[in-house]
Amino acid sequence: MSKLKFWTTAMLIFGFAMLFGYPFLLTRRPAEDAPREARAQFAVLLTGYMGVLLLVFFVLVVLAWRIMVFQREKFREETLANLRDLVEGTLNDHQKKQGDDRS
């Protein structure tokens, strides 16, 4: 679980770093009168950057979803254990009360 939380946090930090780095990438934009090849290279660079950014945030969503599933299972087990303890405690109290009434 701790590895899952670590990778989720790491992806979040990396994703935001990429998101904030986007304006700096735009400073490398070629001029309007630049050759077609230079503009095409920038388009490929920008498309790749956006693809990686989308992939990072998709992985982040999947990791966060896995954490939620894990926590839900853990809470369900704790709820059942607490309910079991409550029922056993109530039965013990009733048995003690019945034992005290007979005395």
pLDDT in tens, the chain (103 residues): 789 999 999 999 999 999 999 888 888 888 888 899 989 999 999 999 999 999 999 999 999 999 999 999 999 999 999 999 899 888 887 788 777 766 5
8-state DSSP, 30: P
Domain interval for residue 32: 2-102
Specify the pLDDT at position 102.
Answer: 66
Specify the pLDDT at position 62.
Answer: 96
CB 47 within 8 A of CB 95: no
> How far apart (Å, rounded) are the C-alpha atoms in residues 35 and 71?
54
Specify the pLDDT at position 103.
Answer: 57
CB 28 within 8 A of CB 77: no
Q: What is the pTM of this model?
A: 0.72
Domains in the chain, number? 1
Burial class of residue 64 in the structure, from the number of CB atoms within 10 Å of its CB (0-12 exposed, 13-18 middle, 19+ buried) = middle
